[in-house]
Amino acid sequence: MTKAKLNIGKNIRKYRLQKKMSQDRLSKLADVAFHTITKIESGNTPNPTIETVKKIADALGVSLDDLMK
């Protein structure tokens, strides 16, 4: 597993908390299932699809690059 894959969940959590957003709110804004958000953040889905990550990035108002680094 690459470092970027490990960081996606951490970065999603970081940006979500910066915006004072719950996982539930993010799941609704991104149109992604709540359990998908929790799994990605916890590292249980280490390789989410690019479509899912893009939806989450858009909902958080950040770039795909921000979530991948």
Instruction: Give me the CATH number covering residue 64.
Output: 1.10.260.40
Domain that holds residue 21: 3-68
Q: What is the Cα–Cα distance from 65 to 33, expressed in whole angstroms?
A: 22
pLDDT at 22: 98
Residue among 41, 68, 69, 33 at smallest CA distance from 54: 68
List of residues 6+ apart from 52 with CB closer than 8 A: 30, 32, 36, 40
Residue 1, pLDDT > 60, answer no
pLDDT tier for residue 5 given thresholds of 50, 70 and 90: low
pLDDT tens digits along 14-69: 999 999 999 999 999 999 999 999 999 998 987 899 999 999 999 999 999 999 88
